[in-house]
Amino acid sequence: MYADMVLGLISNNAHANQNLTKFAVTVPDTRAQIQTYLSDLEASKVNHGTKEVLYIMWVGINPVDAIWTDAVDPDTNGGKGAQHFTDSLYVNATARVQRQLQEVQYQIQHLRDNHNVKKLSPTACS
């Protein structure tokens, strides 16, 4: 199951939170993937032994690129797309990118704060 999720991340299918991007993707977003991992860790479905664990978050530019591409799409804004930083499409895209960044920050902190993760990587979570 985790291998499929990693493949989806590498092929740009997973976003930080699909509710924020609203693009059709075939892989659970990283928020859902982290929650699945934490649930499996809690249920002892994941065994890392006694060694510390290194967590890697793959955070790509593609969801951000998709947000900006959507904002400047010539099929929007009367056939012009966003033309100026005061255009509502530009303002909305900026807010969407900020929400993506906040989401990634939240997910990293959520992972670090989990009591089971702290047991596996105590120095990384301090």
CB atoms within 10 A of CB 29: 22
- Residue 87 belongs to some domain of the structure: yes
Residue bearing the bigger pLDDT, 39 or 88: 39
- Residue 69 belongs to some domain of the structure: yes
C-alpha span between 114 and 109 (Å, rounded): 9
What value, to the nearest 5°, has the Cα angle with vertex 124 and ends 120 and 126?
Answer: 105
Domain extent at residue 114: 2-120
Task: Provide the number of structural domains found in the chain.
Answer: 1
- Residue 125 belongs to some domain of the structure: no
- Residue 60 belongs to some domain of the structure: yes
- Residue 94 belongs to some domain of the structure: yes
Ordered DSSP codes for 9-45: HHTT---S-HHHH----SS--HHHHHHHHHHHHHTT-
- Residue 34 belongs to some domain of the structure: yes
- Residue 126 belongs to some domain of the structure: no
64-101 pLDDT tens trace: 877 888 888 877 767 777 777 888 888 988 998 888 88
pTM above 0.75, yes or no: no
